[in-house]
């Protein structure tokens, strides 16, 4: 093992890359591990468009000099801040261009282990190399947190997969595929399967599906006043979530968890309406009660909300049933780190600088949403997370003092009541 580096970033998606860009600009030595825009390039269906608007689908360098808008302008690609869905391919090409400018040394390797020994972290890479670091930022996105309904587990990946298992949909051409789920991923996937020549059907437990309405552009004054635009959609509440994550952090913990669970539900983008409605059959109000393999096909036993029963047969079933962040599912975290990590709602309790209760260990992206609100589930949350983490690391590095974990919310309240000053 070589000398300890100041920072290791685990993850090279929008969060990891934006954090690397900020650290680089401050001259902080770091290494960044992961596949550049990995899940976007391999775990999202080809042909997908982003639900987030153009202005909210950008990565962040400290000067905001290389935005998605700038990239599209330079590359001669269509772009609009609002109302023009961003194709997945465009985001990925932009992400790669951003990486080569601001994080040129991304190492396409996985971290297999992360432990803490005395004052430093020890990362074990998938090829066996060990790296010591003073601070570590975990920005690994959603992939480890996928959910599959228990009734579908154990039937084998030949028959049942998760939506994140599919980028190329052509192998499903002419095959009968059932997509389970009623959110944006399910609607996108069922539509793209249908458009790729599969015999696709969607089954959802809700009685209706939610698809956003197309916004009138330019936005009338009334709309702008009653529902101002934000990085996570229109509305005053969304604006609060999008622009004031630090304020969100002050909300009592249980209330925060409830808000994150309930807000910004899984509606599909407005542009899916005419591609999905009337084209892809949807069976609504049904859950999968149990499933079995018979004659090389999946037999789904469905249970309706009214108690009705139905059977459906498919060659393949895709569970587009989302993600549930839970740090215990991050396979690289050692038991000793997990033991020291204070959590709420299975995600780390974080200070105002996104530092966990393990000094020097930071979390960004969806794993930080319970602390800073739903904006952290989206790319646009990196606008807040990247400078916040980088500035804290810069201060700690310059002070050359060991990292000290900030008090968690409850402790902070107590300290404030005692007149103490708390930062992260």
Q: Interface with ligand FAD by CB under 6 A: which residues? A: 10-16, 33-35, 38-40, 44, 50-52, 57, 110-111, 139-143, 185, 332, 365-366, 377-380
Q: How many CB atoms lie within 10 A of CB 81?
A: 15
Strand partners, 316: 177
**Closest distance of CB 98 from ligand FAD, Å:** 12
Task: Measure the CA–CA gap between 311 and 182, rounded to whole angstroms.
Answer: 19
The CA–CA distances, whole Å, from 406 to 62, 331, 387 equal 25, 25, 18
Please, are residues 88 and 129 in contact by the beta-carbon 8 Å criterion?
no
**Closest distance of CB 155 from ligand FAD, Å:** 22
**Closest distance of CB 392 from ligand FAD, Å:** 18
Helix or strand holding residue 309 (H, E): strand 309-314
Both tokens of residue 257? 């968890």
Please, are residues 180 and 155 in contact by the beta-carbon 8 Å criterion?
no
User: Closer CB to ligand FAD, residue 229 or residue 302?
Assistant: 229
The DSSP call for residue 307 is S
User: Closer CB to ligand FAD, residue 51 or residue 392?
Assistant: 51
**Closest distance of CB 13 from ligand FAD, Å:** 2
**Closest distance of CB 406 from ligand FAD, Å:** 22
**Closest distance of CB 259 from ligand FAD, Å:** 17
User: Closer CB to ligand FAD, residue 234 or residue 407?
Assistant: 234
Both tokens of residue 264? 């910004």
**Closest distance of CB 221 from ligand FAD, Å:** 27
User: Closer CB to ligand FAD, residue 143 or residue 415?
Assistant: 143
User: Closer CB to ligand FAD, residue 141 or residue 360?
Assistant: 141
The residue whose Cβ lies closest to ligand FAD is: 141
User: Closer CB to ligand FAD, residue 355 or residue 407?
Assistant: 355
User: Closer CB to ligand FAD, residue 39 or residue 149?
Assistant: 39
At 35 the three-state DSSP class reads coil
CA-only gyration radius of the chain, Å: 22
The DSSP call for residue 411 is H
**Closest distance of CB 383 from ligand FAD, Å:** 11
Task: Measure the CA–CA gap between 19 and 34, rounded to whole angstroms.
Answer: 14
- Tell me whether strands 297-304 and 286-294 are parallel, antiparallel or unpaired: antiparallel
DSSP one-letter string for 97-148: HHHHHH-TT-B---EEEEEEETTEEEEEETTS-EEEEEEEEE---SGGGB--
Task: Measure the CA–CA gap between 389 and 372, rounded to whole angstroms.
Answer: 13
User: Closer CB to ligand FAD, residue 135 or residue 291?
Assistant: 135
């Amino acid at each position: 093992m070589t000398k300890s580096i100041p920072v290791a970033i685990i993850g090279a998606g929008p969060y990891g890359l934006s954090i690397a860009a900020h650290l680089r600009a401050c001259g902080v030595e770091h290494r960044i591990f992961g596949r550049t825009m990995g899940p976007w390039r391999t775990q999202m269906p080809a042909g997908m468009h982003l639900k987030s608007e153009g202005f909210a689908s950008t990565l962040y360098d400290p000067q905001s000099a290389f935005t998605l808008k700038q990239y599209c302008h330079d590359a001669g690609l269509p772009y609009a801040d609002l109302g023009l869905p961003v194709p997945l391919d465009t985001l990925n090409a932009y992400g790669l261009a951003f990486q080569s400018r601001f994080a040129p040394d991304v190492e396409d390797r996985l971290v297999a282990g992360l432990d803490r020994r005395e004052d430093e972290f020890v990362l074990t890479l998938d090829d066996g190399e060990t790296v010591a670091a003073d601070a570590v930022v975990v920005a690994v996105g959603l992939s480890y947190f996928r959910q599959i309904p228990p009734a579908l587990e154990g039937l084998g990946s030949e028959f049942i997969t998760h939506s994140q298992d599919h980028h190329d949909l052509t192998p499903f051409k002419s095959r009968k595929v059932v997509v389970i789920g009623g959110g944006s991923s399910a609607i996108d996937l069922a539509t793209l399967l249908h458009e790729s020549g599969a015999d696709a059907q969607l089954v959802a437990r809700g009685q209706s599906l939610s698809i956003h309405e197309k916004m009138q552009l330019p936005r009338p004054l009334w709309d702008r006043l009653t529902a101002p635009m934000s990085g996570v959609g229109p509305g005053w509440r969304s604006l609060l979530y999008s622009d004031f994550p630090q304020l969100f952090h002050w909300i009592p913990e249980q209330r925060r968890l409830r808000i994150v669970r309930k807000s910004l539900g899984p509606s599909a983008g407005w542009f899916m309406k005419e591609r999905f409605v009337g084209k892809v059959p949807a069976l609504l109000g049904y859950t999968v009660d149990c499933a079995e393999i018979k004659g090389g096909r999946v037999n789904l036993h469905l249970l309706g909300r009214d108690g009705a029963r139905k059977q459906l047969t498919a060659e393949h079933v895709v569970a587009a049933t989302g993600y549930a962040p839970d740090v215990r599912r991050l396979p690289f975290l050692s038991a000793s780190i997990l033991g020291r990590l204070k959590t709420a709602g299975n995600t780390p309790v974080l200070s105002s600088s996104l530092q966990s209760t393990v000094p020097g260990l930071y979390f960004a992206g969806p794993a930080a949403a319970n602390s800073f609100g739903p904006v952290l589930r989206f790319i646009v949350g990196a606008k807040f997370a990247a400078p916040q983490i980088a500035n804290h690391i810069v201060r700690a590095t310059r002070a050359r003092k060991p990292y000290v974990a900030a008090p968690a919310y409850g402790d902070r309240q107590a300290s404030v009541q005692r007149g103490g000053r708390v930062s992260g």
